[in-house]
Amino acid sequence: MTRLASFWSGLGGDPALVSRVSAVERSGALPSRLPVREFAGACVGVCALAAAELAARRTGGGEVPAVRVDDGAVATAFVSERHLRVDGRAAESFAPLSRFWRTADGWVRTHANYPHHRARLLSALGAPEDPDAVAAVLAGRSAQEVEETVTAAGGLAVALRTPGEWAAHGQAAAVARLPLVERVRLDSAPAREFAPVGVGDPLLPAAGLRVLDLTRVIAGPVATRTLALLGADVLRLDPPGMPELPDQHTDTGFGKRSALLDLASGRKVFEKLLASADVVVTGYRPGSLDRFGLSAEAPAERRPGVVVAQLSAWGATGPWAGRRGFDSLVQVATGVARIEGEKDRPGALPAQALDHGTGYLLAAGVLRALSDQADEGGSRLVRVALARTAAELLAGGAGDAVPGGEVSATPWLAERDSPLGRLRYALPPVEFEGGPRDWARGPGVWGADAARWL
């Protein structure tokens, strides 16, 4: 509970509430040289506690419901994409060009799941779309050269670093100055007035709240998927010309609606949505949405009292702040992949734990901001970064490197029909007394909903 208590304190939570959390530890869950099991449980635990705290407030201010964190549920949810089945078909994983490659002096990892990233990678390398040809090109270049060349072309490639090499990097220094979850009061907007919710079945602390979801991939969508679980009306917006990977959208789309909107040509529609939004969550590179009035402060100027939640790969400041990034690449840059490797080969965490953990931390930050608004008012900024999450994991000591017995995922899997077919999926790990145990609705077709509130 030490890590959970530390995370809760960083979120501004009442230390006395940590006693409301109980844990079911399973030593075989998420085996790793780093303390992934403990870390993942703490991320989910503070999210569930923030939800329970808000639930108590909205039902009349009684005792905060008891929270339960089960390592089995957490481990299953942290690899939810691996458990997903659509009409019996397993979800597609990393693309062939998204992997580790040997270079002349070490290793580099690329990310080419999206067609535009794949095209930029191949163009930068001057290679055809053939793994053997790419391997031959990379084998003759240094890892640093590949990183710089591909990045300059708008692609994604990161050289493998040790923790010490990363610590000496300017971006690591910038990240080290940040709290795990950055929390800022933006103005003096009046205190939030919540409509009460009944002690129903289930208890939904985010009922009636409207969340604009401008996130992609895993971390941001996990955060908004969690807010949808808790009763929020979550509307995900994507640009029409940039389709999401279908299985990825299915896995993180539970509880939400999905609409297409060009923020340039559809500015009036967006402003209408913002005018009655309670939370705006963005997951694009820092500064990339500023031209649409989506900087950290701008939404609050038009919608006083809003909670702005921002996610990035590398952090909002520093030499790499504007770079693209994904969980797998952050693991490589920060030294996680070196620690998890074998001999001279790099490795990876047992889950995309930076993505999932950061997603639950972001949701926790939003929930705590909503509770704080009821007492103190003010528009709020909540900000997280995968690289900062990695720093927290690296500082946490040793993990359970050898499984202590396989943990079956079966108790935390469910099935349902959906517009996409028959789904098997991981249940949410966020659990508190009286709270929801599953999403009210399954995922729908990408972009099939209207860009409007319910």
69-124 residue pLDDT tens: 999 999 999 999 999 999 999 998 888 999 999 999 999 999 998 898 999 999 99
Amino acid (1-letter code) at residue 100 = F
Exposed e or buried b for every residue in 81-99, given b needs 16+ CB within 10 A?
bebbbbeeeebeeebebbb
Amino acid (1-letter code) at residue 171 = Q
> Quick check: pTM over 0.95?
yes
Contact of 155 with 108, CB cutoff 8 Å: no
Contact of 53 with 59, CB cutoff 8 Å: no
Tell me: pLDDT of 343 over 90.
Answer: no
Q: Which of 26, 2, 28 is nearest to 15 (CA)?
A: 2
CA distances from 413 to 85, 239, 425, 435 (A): 11, 32, 6, 18
pLDDT tens, residue by residue, 269-301? 999 999 999 999 999 999 989 999 999 999 999
Per-residue pLDDT, 346: 97
Q: Which of 258, 245, 255 is nearest to 217 (CA)?
A: 245
Tell me: pLDDT of 199 over 80.
Answer: no
Exposed e or buried b for every residue in 368-406, given b needs 16+ CB within 10 A?
bbbbbbeeebbbbbbbbbbbbbbbbbbebeebbeeeeee
Residues in the chain: 454
Contact of 385 with 312, CB cutoff 8 Å: yes
Tell me: pLDDT of 405 over 70.
Answer: no
Burial of 365 (0-12, 13-18, 19+ CB in 10 A): buried
More confident residue, 61 or 330: 330
d(CA 96, CA 98): 6
d(CA 21, CA 42): 10
Which neighbouring-strand residues pair with 421?
418
Q: Which of 385, 411, 409 is nearest to 179 (CA)?
A: 385
Contact of 221 with 252, CB cutoff 8 Å: yes
404 pLDDT band (50/70/90 cuts)? Answer: low
d(CA 386, CA 311): 8
**Which residue's structure tokens are 């509770």?**
371
The percentage of the chain sitting over the pLDDT mark of 90, rounded to a whole number, equals 89
For residue 84 the two structure tokens come to: 């997903």
pLDDT tens, residue by residue, 354-382? 999 999 999 999 999 999 999 999 999 99
Q: Which of 9, 3, 79 is nearest to 41 (CA)?
A: 3
Q: What are the φ and ψ backbone dihedral angles of 385, each rounded to 5 degrees?
A: -145, 140
For residues 297-309, average pLDDT: 96
Residue 373 half-sphere exposure toward CB, CA atoms < 13 A: 30
Which DSSP string do the residues of 169-181 spell out, in sequence order? SHHHHHHHTS-SS
Contact of 300 with 288, CB cutoff 8 Å: no
